[in-house]
Structure 1
């Protein structure tokens, strides 16, 4: 499994109270499988992504990415895991404004030690952004920036791709196109995709849909 979560529990401090955000949560995502995660605001979707990415400490339970356990990992090991095995696509793109499109795309691959110029160029071609390689993020549209962010995340050949509302800033036409390209690329690269989304249309493009509600996760469709 690219992602395996077992008996995950997570508590947060809400004012003066402690609130159980996640209770005995179990989830697995196989290589090349595309999974949507839905739920109301405050249900814990982004917290779950942060836990999977090793950005928040695991309080109780097990998370493993590409067979590597995060539970007892040091900060250095978690940083290395993110470089080597996890790609992240943000809602607000998080491109490096001082770098060209091509340099942005190459950034994660160089960090992972998997720089392959032809792979990066092939991703740009598949995403329809080859003509933008010498441009800078400030000159791009929202849809173009999101495609660059997808290429950057996939260029390091991660085992797991995490996407937090990646189409939240796009119109419906751009959203549909970007999601279709993202799913196709995840499958062709045998990369597991876990996408947080509020959009039923986006979720319908995935292999499975889960809903996070009342501290637990349930399969909506597969």
Structure 2
């Protein structure tokens, strides 16, 4: 398993009160498995991704990523885990404007000590952005930026990819194309994917989709 979540509980401050956001939540994600995560705003989807990424402390329960128990990991261990085992695709892309597309794609791989020029070229080819390699982010469309962000995340060969509304800024046609490519790529690289989305169409491309409500995950057998 790439990711194991066991009996996770998490509270947040809501005014003067504490609100239980996640309640005894458990989830297992295997290598190459694509998981969709849906839920109302404020249901805890982004918080769950942050906990998986080690960006927020675990209050109760356990998250195991690539064999590392996050609740017992040091800040250095968490940092190494994020560099070498985890990829993140942001809704706002978060590309570096001062770097070319080629250097943006290589950035995560270099950080992880896993730079592979041939892999970066192949990702660019598969995502149909090889003609953009010498351009800079400010010259690209939203769909092109998202494809570069996907290539960058996969260039480091992570065990798990987290995506928070990765197609939220794209129109339906671009969204469908990006999601289809993303699923194809993570499957070919045996990378697990946990993707937050409000789109039923996007969720329908996942192997499994869960609804997060009242702190619990409920599997959606068929997304329509």
| Shared fold (TM-score, shorter chain, > 0.5) | yes
Distance 1:137 1:165 in 2: 20
Q: Give 1:113's aligned residue.
A: 113
Structure 2 residues without counterparts, runs of 5 or longer: none
Q: Give 2:98's aligned residue.
A: 98
Distance 2:196 2:221 in 1: 15
Note the aligned Cα RMSD (angstroms): 0.6
Where has structure 1 moved over 2 Å in runs of 4 or more? Answer: none
- Deviation digits for residues 56-103 of structure 1, max 9, x if unmatched? 000000001111111111111101000010000000000000000000
Q: Give 1:146's aligned residue.
A: 146
- Deviation digits for residues 168-222 of structure 1, max 9, x if unmatched? 0000000000000000000000000000000000000000000000111111127
Q: Give 2:52's aligned residue.
A: 52
TM-score normalised by length of structure 2? 0.98
Distance 1:123 1:3 in 2: 24
CA-CA distance at 1:42 after TM superposition:
0.1
Distance 1:23 1:68 in 2: 22
- Deviation digits for residues 18-61 of structure 1, max 9, x if unmatched? 00000000001100000100000000000000000000000000
2:174 matches 1:174: yes
SS state of the match for residue 71, structure 1?
helix
Distance 1:154 1:170 in 2: 20
Q: Give 1:161's aligned residue.
A: 161
TM-score normalised by length of structure 1? 0.99
